[in-house]
Structure 1
Amino acid sequence: MLRKAKNVRSECIRPFFHEGKNVVIRWEFQFEWLDGSITEIEEMAYQIWKEDKIHKEQFFYDPKQFIPKKRDV
């Protein structure tokens, strides 16, 4: 997927939440595709940590966000 993108921007939206070994992080991504269109998505990442590494991770998002939009010039 990244090969189809000219540029990808990501930002962690604070605060992130953690309770013991469970972590939830909200992300915003902007993909600028080779054809000039853009896709902006918001994602929630749920992680379970074991020691100092991610043991399990699951992502949640609205799939309708993946529809590219033409860029305003």
Structure 2
Amino acid sequence: MAVSLYSMLDAPQTSGGGPTLQRVRSFLARVEQQDYVGAIMHFYHADASMQENMNEPRCGRDALLANEMEIVLRYGNMPVRKVERFAVNGRLVFINWQFEIALPSGGRCLFDEIAMQVWDGDRIRSERFYYDPAQLGR
């Protein structure tokens, strides 16, 4: 099931507009501290969704947490570089994440992605990641 930007924006709102700049910066700081699970717990709605490229979205905070824990187990410590590029436009937030991922070969690669988030009040309602999957095969 592909989710378009328009359908994401049309999702029901419970608390109104988008986040404050301070709230977005708090979210960025939490992820930069590599507290990925804590970021999901404190910044996502209980019925939030995440989608990787054109894959089916994961729905519900419990599913998001389970997937994040699986990623941490698979790749271990994934340092994230300080976010230097992000944009906030009402309910929409765009972030350019850059993670350093340990490869099974023992090397490391830079994983560069764009996240598009739709916020509902001070929490994320939906998030979609855009990246080149070939980055993981380097």
Normalised to the residue count of structure 2, the TM-score between the two structures is 0.44
Structure 1, gaps ≥5 residues long = 69-73
1:27 corresponds to which of 89, 97, 108: 97
Deviation at 1:12, TM superposition (A): 4.2
Question: Deviations for 1:21-41, whole angstroms, at most 9, x for unmatched residues?
Answer: 101000001112465222321
Deviation at 1:2, TM superposition (A): 2.1
CA RMSD in angstroms comes to 1.8
Structure 2 Cα separation of the partners of residues 56 and 66 of structure 1? 24
Moved over 2 A (4+): 4-7
Structure 1 counterpart of 2:137, which letter? I
2:133 aligns to what?
63
Q: 1:46 to 1:12 in 2, by over 3 A?
A: farther
> Does residue 81 of structure 2 align to residue 11 of structure 1?
yes
> Does residue 106 of structure 2 align to residue 36 of structure 1?
yes
Deviation at 1:66, TM superposition (A): 0.6
Which secondary structure does the structure 2 equivalent of 1:8 belong to?
Answer: coil
Structure 2 counterpart of 1:22, which letter? L
Q: 1:66 to 1:34 in 2, by over 3 A?
A: closer
Normalised to the residue count of structure 1, the TM-score between the two structures is 0.77
Higher strand proportion: 1
Which secondary structure does the structure 2 equivalent of 1:9 belong to?
Answer: coil
> Does residue 127 of structure 2 align to residue 54 of structure 1?
no
Q: 1:34 to 1:3 in 2, by over 3 A?
A: farther
